[in-house]
């Protein structure tokens, strides 16, 4: 990283190391080399194009999120009521479909141009496999984190200089398979909390371009967010202004909802 901006923390003396931030939540610094980052970014730019491209995300309360987003495989959005039973309640065991509210996954961009969501790319399934091995290894220790269904959802978030993401749980998937997060561009503070509340205790990790963060097992339903990015810290060789984060998830949307 010689000659590049320092990010949010002082330049380190030692290389950054794989860190288990909480049980099952693993930060792998410098996971993708620059060539892989450039390739992935080029793909993200294609995915962000219309139809079903980059859009502003509405929140259930009528606001908008500061990140802009593209979904692959399944489209994630706020809904005024459950698309399957029509009720505006968090849980309805009697829903004849897969009950979802106030966010739901759908096959079309219901809050945008209405187009079918782009398919989940095979290359991201391969990337997910590599990510799990990087985070948990390939021995017996990895068994508790083995996905119970294929990775089939990718959410791409685009952060401009002032964008951030409040503390939330990734709760709309029906599988406890780990969430896999890959970051490109500007450095950010990734706040990783606990499964009980959106408040402390939490750990702040610095995610830089090429870093991997995976949270599964006891950390799968933990609150997390991005309180800030550091504009201008993207590696010059990447050619990106801002930050892109890609999360890979197992939807298993044919199942009833597990609630953490």
Ligand X SMILES: O=C(O)CCC(=O)C(=O)O
Interaction between residue 155 and ligand X (CB under 6 A): yes
Among 92, 100, 209, 245, binds ligand X (CB under 6 A): 245
Contacts of 100 (CB under 8 A, 6+ apart): 79, 82, 83, 84, 172, 257
Contacted entry of ligand X, Fe ion, none for residue 181, CB cut-off 5 to 8 Å set by kind? ligand X
Structure tokens at 255: 């199942």
Structure tokens at 39: 């390739």
Among 152, 170, 206, 211, binds Fe ion (CB under 5 A): 170
Interaction between residue 172 and Fe ion (CB under 5 A): no
Between 114 and 197, whose beta carbon lies closer to Fe ion? 197
Interaction between residue 224 and ligand X (CB under 6 A): yes
Taking residues 168 to 197 in sequence order and writing x for each that binds ligand X by CB under 6 A, - otherwise, the string is --x----------x-x------x-------
Between 95 and 109, whose beta carbon lies closer to ligand X? 109
Minimum distance between the CB of residue 174 and ligand X, rounded to whole angstroms? 16
Q: Which residue is nearest to ligand X (CB)?
A: 245
Minimum distance between the CB of residue 69 and ligand X, rounded to whole angstroms? 8
Contacted entry of Fe ion, ligand X, none for residue 99, CB cut-off 5 to 8 Å set by kind? none
Interaction between residue 244 and ligand X (CB under 6 A): no
- Backbone φ and ψ of 87, nearest 5°: -95, 145
Interaction between residue 211 and ligand X (CB under 6 A): no
Minimum distance between the CB of residue 131 and Fe ion, rounded to whole angstroms? 15
Between 170 and 172, whose beta carbon lies closer to Fe ion? 170
Minimum distance between the CB of residue 170 and Fe ion, rounded to whole angstroms? 4
Q: Where are the alpha helices (DSSP H) in 94-196?
A: 122-136
Give the separation between CA 259 and CA 25, rounded to whole angstroms: 19
Between 65 and 149, whose beta carbon lies closer to ligand X? 65
The most distant pair of C-alpha atoms in the chain lies apart, rounded to whole Å, by 59
Contacts of 228 (CB under 8 A, 6+ apart): 8, 164, 188, 189
Place of tokens 């309360």: 61
3-state SS track over 53-110? CCEEEECCCCCEEEEEEEEECCEEEECCCCCCCCCCCCCCCCCCCCCCCCEEEECECC
Structure tokens at 50: 């219309």
Among 37, 106, 157, 187, binds ligand X (CB under 6 A): 157
Judge contact between 59 and 225, C-beta under 8 A.
no
Q: DSSP string spanning 189-200? A: EEEE--SS-SSS
Q: For the chain, state the CA radius of gyration.
A: 18
Minimum distance between the CB of residue 118 and Fe ion, rounded to whole angstroms? 20
Per CB under 6 A, residues contacting ligand X are 155, 157, 165, 170, 181, 183, 190, 224, 226, 245, 247
Positions in the binding site for Fe ion (CB under 5 A): 170
């Amino acid at each position: 990283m010689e000659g590049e901006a320092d990010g949010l923390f002082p330049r380190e003396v030692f290389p950054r190391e794989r860190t288990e931030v909480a049980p099952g939540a693993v930060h792998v610094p410098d996971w993708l080399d620059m060539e892989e980052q450039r390739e992935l970014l080029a793909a993200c730019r294609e995915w962000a194009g219309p139809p079903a491209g980059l859009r502003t995300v509405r929140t259930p309360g009528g606001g908008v999120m500061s990140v802009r987003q593209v979904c692959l495989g399944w489209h994630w959005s706020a809904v005024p009521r459950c698309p399957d039973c029509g009720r505006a309640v968090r849980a309805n065991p009697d829903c004849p479909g897969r009950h979802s509210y106030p966010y739901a996954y759908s096959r079309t961009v219901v809050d945008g141009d209405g187009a079918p969501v782009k398919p989940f790319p095979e290359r991201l399934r391969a990337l997910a496999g590599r990510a799990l091995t990087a985070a948990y290894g390939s021995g017996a220790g990895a068994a508790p984190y083995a996905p119970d269904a294929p990775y089939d959802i990718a959410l791409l978030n685009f952060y401009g200089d002032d964008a951030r993401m409040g503390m939330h749980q990734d709760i709309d998937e029906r599988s406890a398979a780990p969430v896999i997060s890959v970051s490109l561009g500007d450095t950010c503070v990734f706040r990783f909390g606990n499964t009980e509340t959106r408040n402390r205790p939490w750990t702040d990790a610095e995610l830089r371009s090429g870093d991997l963060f995976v949270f599964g097992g006891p950390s799968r339903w933990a609150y997390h967010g991005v309180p800030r990015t550091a504009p201008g810290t993207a590696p010059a060789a990447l050619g990106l202004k801002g930050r892109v984060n890609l999360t890979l998830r197992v939807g298993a949307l044919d199942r009833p909802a597990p609630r953490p």
